[in-house]
A and B are shown apart, each in its own frame.
Chain A
Amino acid sequence: MKIAYYPGCSLHSTGVEYDISTKKVCAALGIELVEVEDWICCGASPAHQCDELMSVALPAKNLALAARTDNLKEICAPCASCYSRLKFAQERMTDENMRKNVEQIIGSEYPEGFKVLHMLDVIVEKTGTEAVKEKVVKSLNGLKVACYYGCLMTRPPKVTGKQQFENPTEMESLMEALGAETVDWNMKTFCCGASFALTQTDVVLKLTRKILADAVSAGAQAISVGCPLCHANLDGRQEQINKKFNTNFHIPIFYFTELMGLALGFEAKDLGIFKHLTEVEDFLKERALV
């Protein structure tokens, strides 16, 4: 299977381990990722709240660039925010006037009928958990995982087309195929505060604390995510949360591709897992995953 790959800015910086593990896992599953040549930022957090036209033009430009790559008709984005902006652009482009203006801005035709997928969709829907299960060489051995989707992987359903947007279960089925146990919890689609980390950190600390607390009280030993912004907040802010709220969180946050990589037999260091800010080495050693 060949599919256009749009990593997005975060996967080249704060979420670099997501990029590394995604590429490894896809190669092992026989999914060929063709990176969109000269891709640009999708406009993520700021464009939709300061410039409606550019918020559609930037993702549309990326779709136009992707259409030029090997004549592909599908594109996948591991970042939930990029995925959402690409999907939103497609929805907004159904407006005739918007389409005319955007085509003028991007200086090329907008490719109709492109299929935009999140990385999780590629694995669960297109490859299937059965195919993943066959490739598992090192079971996660009952590791208790809380699957965290955050906001934009599922919402709004009008744009993402997801049926179960309040209680999605794709990641759970994937984790179970890897031999992990999943926990039932309340905060799987609750917002972590995303880009407010830079402007209003207090909001992020409060919201992220709720998520961590709920995962821990549900008995989770680790949280699995599919968004670099969620990861940055849940993983990187634990120390600040502990200091501010006098808590004692120390729960490893993995990208779902990292957990897949471990189960498929890759070494943790080759998946970039040691780039996490919350220490994971002892955790993995205890469970013989290193």
Chain B
Amino acid sequence: MKIVGQKDVKLDKAFMEEVAKRSGENVFLCYQCRKCASGCPSRMFMDSTPTELMRYVQLGMVDEAMKTNTIWYCLSCQTCSARCPQDIDIAHVVDTIRILVQEKGIKADTKNMRLFNRLWMNILKYAGRMYELALTGMLNVFTGRPFKDMSLGIKMMRKGKLKLLPSIRKPFAMMKMFSRAKRLKK
């Protein structure tokens, strides 16, 4: 836990309200019991614990919430949401902050998750189903480690565990769904 003076912190009430409203979770119920932080399997990688993240949201500490690596190390394993005594879906709050960071194009080290999400959603938009070879291939090229997991991939291919060609299902219907969603969000 970092202790800071009030003048060092940007407090943004609008951020707090936006997270609460979009997630539909009553984030103000959190009383910092730390049950989420204790159970989080990814805690050791995070700068701030999930409990601290909840406090950032309650106080409207927008920079701390959006730029901490905590949200990008969340595995969406739902342990925190399952255990919260105040019944807050914490993983949903994390998802909401991740969405805000991506929508607003905020500069943050997203641990390649921004890229991962964009690639996967684009594959869906044009193919309708996952095409693992394209996802891993593009991800490895764009992150500058083209040979990552190469031998594993070859092994899987030999065993018939990776499709060589994408299975495309009604691409026009999928594109239509995505464009309708885009229009609705405006």
Interface segment, one of A51-59, A68-76, A115-123, A140-148: A51-59
User: B24 is contacted by which of A9, A95, A151 (Cβ under 8 Å)?
Assistant: A95
Chain B, interface residues (CB within 8 Å), range: 35 or more
Contact: B184 with A101, CB < 8 Å?
yes
Give chain B interface residues in 76-133, CB to chain A under 8 Å: 76-79, 81-82, 87, 89, 91, 95-96, 98-99, 102, 111-114, 116-118, 120-121, 124, 128-130, 132
Q: A105-B184, A200-B111 are in contact. Are A12 and B121 (CB under 8 A)?
A: no
Give chain B interface residues in 130-186, CB to chain A under 8 Å: 130, 132, 135-136, 139, 143, 148-149, 152, 155-156, 159-163, 167, 169-170, 174, 176-178, 180-181, 184-185
Q: A43-B124, A54-B121, A275-B159 are in contact. Are A155 and B78 (CB under 8 A)?
A: yes
- How far, in Å, is A198 (CB) from chain B's closest CB? 6
Interface segment, one of A22-30, A173-181, A186-194, A250-258: A186-194
State the majority secondary structure of interface residues on A.
Answer: helix
B75 interface residue per 8 A CB criterion? yes
In the complex, residue of chain A having the shortest beta-carbon distance to the beta carbon of B83:
A166
Contact: A51 with B181, CB < 8 Å?
yes
In the complex, residue of chain A having the shortest beta-carbon distance to the beta carbon of B23:
A52
- How far, in Å, is B11 (CB) from chain A's closest CB? 25
- How far, in Å, is A209 (CB) from chain B's closest CB? 12
Chain A residue numbers with a CB within 8 Å of B76 are 45, 48-49, 151, 194
Chain A residue numbers with a CB within 8 Å of B152 are 236, 240, 277
Chain A residues near B (Cβ < 8 Å): 9-10, 12-16, 38-41, 43-54, 57-58, 61, 95, 101, 104-107, 151-152, 155-158, 165-166, 190-191, 193-196, 198-201, 203, 206-207, 236, 240, 274-277
Closest 3 CB pairs of A and B: A9-B130, A191-B77, A155-B78
Chain B residues near A (Cβ < 8 Å): 22, 24, 41-42, 44-45, 73, 75-79, 81-82, 87, 89, 91, 95-96, 98-99, 102, 111-114, 116-118, 120-121, 124, 128-130, 132, 135-136, 139, 143, 148-149, 152, 155-156, 159-163, 167, 169-170, 174, 176-178, 180-181, 184-185
